[in-house]
Amino acid sequence: MVLLLRRRKVHHIPSELSRCDGEEKTEENSGCRSTKRLVYFIFRVRSSSIITMVGFSSSSARTTSREMHRYPCHSESRLDRPENVNDRVPSGFWSDVPWGGVPVFRLAELVPPRILVEGRTTGLLGGSSLQPGKTSKLAALAKARSKAKAEKAAGLTSSDAPQSTTAVSLLDKLSKKKPSTTPAETPAPTPATVTPIPPAAGTSPEPPPGEIMPEPIVVQTIDIPQIPAATESDITPKASPSGFAKSMFGRRLDEMLLDLDDKIADAQLIYFSVAPSQKAAAKAKQGFEGPSPDDVVIAAQSQSKGLNKTQKTEKSTAATTTSIQKGIDGLKIGEPSEKPTPPKIARKKIDVVAEYEKSKSKRKENANLVVIGHVDAGKSTLMGRLLYDSGVVDERTIQKYKQEAEKIGKSSFALAWVLDQTGEERTRGVTIDIAVNAFETEKGRFTILDAPGHRDFIPNMIAGAAQADFAVLVIDSSPGEFEAGFNIRGQTKEHALLVRSMGVQRIIVAVNKLDLLHWDQDRFDEIRQQMTQFLTTAGFQSKNMSFIPCSGLTGDNIVRKPKEGLVPWYSGPTLIEELETAKPVAKAIEKALRMTITDVYRGGVTNPVTISGRIEVGNVQVGDTIIAVPGDERATVKGIEVDNEAAEWAVAGNNVQLHLAGIEMDHLKIGDVVCHTDSPLVPLREFEAKILAFESLTPMMIDIHRGRLNASGRITKLVATLDKGNGTITKKKPRHIGPGSLAMINILVTGAPLPLEKGSKIVLRADGLTVAAGVVE
């Protein structure tokens, strides 16, 4: 239901409304006053040309209409003049209205809508004609239709005829709960009969002469089905007024609305109703008991051939998918429930420990020596010279290297090329990776691990140090060069600390390039003094330190003694003699096999998969089944080479090549740890380690190096600092660990678990510096 009030021209009404205030305050005039105010408020909404009100009772509306016509407003009212405001508006009229203080000159000119009556203009929605008695064509058509329908309705029996009811009851229905009747029981609405409302008594339809009447509001009632009368409780407001409403009308809003229900009963309303079709009426009676048209369509489709086809298609698609899936599954390199068993190779079940003890006296002992030192100290040149002078490298090879080195302007590197084999190493003149070579003396076999001196390749140096029995520390004795390598950023100290941390106890210091200093004894003594002091603090015993004055370039004191008189102040051993005195550390050959892979390659047509490395602990023999941790692929040892000679078995300390069967090269990586399948290493994610700190340590992010493997990790806990002499705890839970301190710490591997176990040697680095090294506890 919609009440449309169309405003064509707005006039003032307060002066007329004020008449109510002069009367004694009765229930009636109180309502009159409230109603007027409400209407006045409505007319103040100047920005809106159409005001829509929903929920007015018809009696109140009619009363309001009559009031409006009884007190027509004039556009030229004296109220427009501010000086007359107080005369026109009785004191206290607006006292209970919050917005009553609005300046008058800002008020709209209000005019009440005219109510047109039968026989006058009945233009729908107000029309435009003001000529009395003249009806528009559209209104005439509507009127004719209404009349015809009224006549038709008159022909119905009284029981069938829709009961005309008042607007108030209809509005009441909207605001109250539905009676006990169900929707199905509610009579279907019938076409509405529009009944024109006669003019109210005493109202003057004629505008005063010379006045322009506003566009009339046409309010009509329609006949609607009988609705049960509202009870007292039904008209109780269902919700309290909003905050905005209260601010506008105060506590009177409830009263006003209820008052309006009673007093606007005669409001002339326009109802836009659409007569339901016969089918719709029938549907309404059925109460939607049957299936909806959509349901009917869907039901029909479901039984049609098309849908069956779809179902069949879906079935066939599903079958095809299943078939394809089966095919894909068949193509997969499946994850078998059990790992394939590697091929069995005849195993002699040799007692390796016993065999080793028997052969010990016949075999030369093998020792690995790592050559360390600051960059360009002359390590490669020194080892090249050693190999050349010991007959491992012949004259022709050296001449060839000299010629090639001269071509690129690096003739002084010819000896270094014996170990620096890669093109990049030769052109750059730096060692990048560990170079392995070997030589033999009457007393023993030596494997050289030439480490890079540049700090960028420290991880490679660590990999070499992890396999060493002892170390040769090369120092450039040139002015300034020793100091450069010895300071905080130099590698002389770092390398020495690293090898000691990796378990190397024996160190030979080669004071190199003394040819440039004319074999200056003072320089040699100076270097020896400083290095002895430092190496002692690093944990080397003085009996395990030795210093050799030498020149790798000239070969003096490497393999041969210097010419007589060249170094009169030195009568000690040459470098190679000193090496022969060094004994490798005893290995635990009876323990479980552990060998870190240093290379994986194709060992020939008959040996498609070969790995090399040094057995750190335990022993291995042909026919053993091994596993490379952290991988879980198994393989069978089908052949062994020790020092390039075929062997039936090998023990800790041997550098070996293992030819494998039953495994692909892809499943083996440098850094993996080879174990027997019955005693595999279990990778660790968190562990405790005894370390020697090179830098200040706190709980911090680190890189953990284990041979060639490295992973990110974190120091999670500083457990205790230890006494360097006896290893006892000096302080528990220290806040930090100072450089040079021995300590116990907890380490967490943040990536994949590392193949570590008790006794594994690790190095910790951070921000490009080696901060600590130690052993897993």
Q: Which is nearer to ligand GTP, 366 or 380 (CB)?
A: 380
d(CA 499, CA 469): 10
Phi, psi of 682 (to 5 degrees): -100, 115
Q: How far is the CB of 566 from ligand GTP (least distance, A)?
A: 13
Q: How far apart are CA 737 and CA 719, in angstroms?
A: 10
Smallest gap from Cβ 484 to ligand GTP, in A, equals 12
Per CB under 6 A, contacts with ligand GTP among 413-432 are: 413, 416, 429-431
Q: Is the CB of 226 or the CB of 421 nearer to ligand GTP?
A: 421
d(CA 764, CA 776): 12
Instruction: Give the side-chain half-sphere CA count within 13 A for 611.
Output: 28
Number of neighbouring beta carbons within 10 Å of residue 627: 24
* Amino acid letter, residue 53: M
Within 10 A of 646 (CB to CB), how many other CB atoms are there? 11
b/e code 50-76 from CB counts within 10 Å (16+ = b) = eeebeebbbbbbbbbbbbbbebbbbee
Write phi, then psi, for 616 (nearest 5 degrees): -85, -45
For residue 264, the SS3 value is strand
Q: How many residues bind ligand GTP (CB under 6 A)?
A: 24
Using the minimum distance from each CB to ligand GTP, give the nearer residue, 367 or 448. Answer: 448
State the minimum distance, in angstroms, from the CB of residue 626 to ligand GTP. 34
H/E stretch holding 322 reads helix 305-331
HSE-up of residue 192 (Cα within 13 Å, Cβ side)? 16
Residue closer to ligand GTP by CB (options 497, 609) is 497
Cβ atoms of residues 636 and 345 within 8 Å: yes
Q: What are phi and psi of 39, to 5 degrees?
A: -65, -40
The least distance separating ligand GTP from the CB of residue 494, rounded to whole angstroms, comes to 13
Our finding on whether 452 is near ligand GTP (CB under 6 A) is yes
Judged by CB under 6 A, the stretch of 257-265, 398-406, 547-555, 659-667 that binds ligand GTP is 547-555
Residue 453 interacts with ligand GTP (CB under 6 A): yes or no: yes
Q: Is 460 in the site for ligand GTP (CB under 6 A)?
A: no
Least Å from the CB of residue 370 to ligand GTP: 12
- Complex with ligand GTP: residue 458 or 589, whichever CB lies closer: 458
Nearest distance in Å: CB 777, ligand GTP: 34
Write out 742-776 in H/E/C secondary structure. Answer: EEEEEEEECCCCECCCCCCEEEEEECCEEEEEEEE
Q: What is the DSSP letter of 104?
A: G
Q: Quote the least distance from Cβ 412 to ligand GTP, whole Å.
A: 3
Q: Among residue numbers 481 through 520, which ones bind ligand GTP (CB under 6 A)?
A: 512-513, 515-516
User: Where in 374-413 is the site for ligand GTP (CB under 6 A)?
Assistant: 375-381, 412-413
Two structure tokens written together for 699: 């709980």
**Minimum CB distance to ligand GTP smaller for 563 or for 735:** 563
Nearer to ligand GTP, 73 or 375 (CB): 375
Give me the least distance between CB of 666 and ligand GTP, in Å please: 32
For ligand GTP, give the closer residue by CB, 366 or 551.
551
Q: Are 621 and 676 in contact (CB under 8 A)?
A: no
684-723 core/surface letters (b: 16 or more CB in 10 A; e: else)? beebebbbbbbbebeebebbbbbbbbbbebbbeebbbbbe
Span of 232-240, 303-311, 548-556, 742-750 interacting with ligand GTP by CB under 6 A: 548-556
Which CB sits closer to ligand GTP, 89 or 375?
375
Cβ at position 375, least distance to ligand GTP in Å: 4
> Is residue 184 helix, strand or coil?
coil
The residue within the footprint of ligand GTP, chosen from 171, 264, 511, 553 (CB under 6 A), is: 553
C-beta of 454 vs 667, nearer to ligand GTP: 454
Q: Exposure of 541 by Cβ count < 10 A (0-12 exposed, 13-18 middle, 19+ buried)?
A: exposed
At closest approach, how far in Å is the CB of 507 from ligand GTP? 16
Handedness of CA 223, 224, 227, 229 (dihedral sign): negative
Give the nearer residue to ligand GTP in terms of CB position, either 475 or 772.
Answer: 475
Helices 58-70 + 167-175 axis angle, to 10 = 130
Nearest distance from C-beta of residue 510 to ligand GTP, angstroms: 9
Minimum distance from CB of 575 to ligand GTP (Å)?
12
Residues 319-378 that bind ligand GTP (CB under 6 A): 373, 375-378
Residue 535, H or E segment: helix 521-537
Note whether 464 binds ligand GTP by CB under 6 A. no
The smaller minimum CB distance to ligand GTP, of residues 377 and 466, is found at 377
Q: Residues 68-107 vs ligand GTP: string with x where CB under 6 A?
A: ----------------------------------------
Cβ 528 to ligand GTP, closest distance in Å?
17
Nearer to ligand GTP by C-beta: 389 or 688? 389
**What residues make contact with ligand GTP under the rule CB under 6 A?**
373, 375-381, 412-413, 416, 429-431, 452-454, 512-513, 515-516, 551-553
